[in-house]
Amino acid sequence: MKKLILLFAVLTAVGCTGVKTTTAGLENEAFLVFLGNPKDYETGVEVNIDDKTSFSAEVQKNHSDRPKGKVYAISTGPHMVSVIHNGEMIFQKRIFISTQETKKIILP
């Protein structure tokens, strides 16, 4: 009987895989979305971040709910954001953006 109990205990211990845990943090990035009348910006806009990074962006229709189009990842913290359309600066502002935040840039 003792051997049977010992065998059962050993088999139970061998069959256990233990507790597995995983942890994951939020990525250290934030997002920009550009809102306005897409018909006014059919060719998109040129975005400049801190006079270091430039990219073309798509302008989406301004919805009150979550953005459904493209969002653009940037690092968190303070940034100077400039938006240019047809050679004219249409938006310039210093912003502060937190981890996983999506900042809406509303264009005229």
Mean pLDDT (the chain, rounded): 85
Residue recorded with tokens 């301004």: 62
Q: Is the pLDDT of residue 24 over 70?
A: no
Candidates 75, 33, 22, 81; CA nearest to 58 is 33
**Residue 64 pLDDT class (50, 70, 90 cuts):** low
Residue recorded with tokens 């600066």: 89
Candidates 30, 25, 2, 16; CA nearest to 100 is 30
**Phi and psi at residue 100, to the nearest 5°:** 65, 15
Q: Please tell me the distance from the alpha carbon of residue 60 to that of residue 9, in angstroms, as a whole number.
A: 63
pLDDT score recorded for residue 18: 60
CATH architecture entry for 24-106: Sandwich (2.60)
This prediction's pTM: 0.71
Show the tokens assigned to 5.
């109990």
**Residue 19 pLDDT class (50, 70, 90 cuts):** low
Domain locations in the chain? 24-106
Q: For 32-55, write each residue's pLDDT tens digit.
A: 999 999 999 999 999 999 999 999
